[in-house]
């Protein structure tokens, strides 16, 4: 995957993630509405707590994805994009086309996930 294509894909993904985070955080932290109002007047405390926990988990996942995209953009800037951060070998184009923020080749990613 060439750097221009990667930059375009990563920038679009970054914009989407920022939008999703802003939207989620706006729903989680809206001073005009509390949890009961967001979920309906008949909601009980357990449902409110579950909704808040799910929202926080989604926020963490989106933030982690944003961090991966930002790191990939940094690798483009410093000339290391497409090189596995663990073994130093090129990451196959097919992997980068599917997951432009990939920092590892498939072998190293598998090893990392097993740890």
Question: DSSP string of 54-102?
Answer: HHHHHHHHHHHHHHHHHHHHHHHHHT-TTB-TTT-PBPPHHHHHH-TT-
In angstroms, the CA 56 to CA 8 distance is 29
Name the pLDDT band for 81 (thresholds 50, 70, 90): very high
Name the pLDDT band for 31 (thresholds 50, 70, 90): very low
pLDDT tens-place string over residues 87-112: 999 999 999 999 999 999 999 999 99
Name the pLDDT band for 39 (thresholds 50, 70, 90): low
Query: What mean pLDDT do residues 46-57 have?
Result: 61
Check pLDDT > 50 for residue 41: yes
The domains of the chain are located at 3-81
In angstroms, the CA 80 to CA 107 distance is 18
In angstroms, the CA 12 to CA 14 distance is 5
């Amino acid at each position: 995957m060439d750097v221009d294509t990667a930059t375009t894909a990563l920038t679009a993904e970054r914009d989407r993630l920022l939008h999703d985070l802003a939207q989620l955080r706006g729903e989680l932290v809206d001073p005009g509405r509390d949890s009961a109002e967001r979920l309906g007047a008949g909601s009980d405390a357990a449902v409110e707590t579950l909704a808040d926990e799910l929202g926080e988990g989604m926020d963490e996942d989106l933030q982690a994805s944003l961090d991966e995209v930002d790191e990939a953009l940094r690798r483009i800037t410093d000339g290391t994009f497409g090189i596995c951060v663990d073994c130093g070998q090129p990451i196959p184009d097919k992997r980068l086309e599917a997951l432009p923020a990939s920092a590892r080749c498939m072998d190293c990613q598998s090893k990392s996930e097993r740890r």
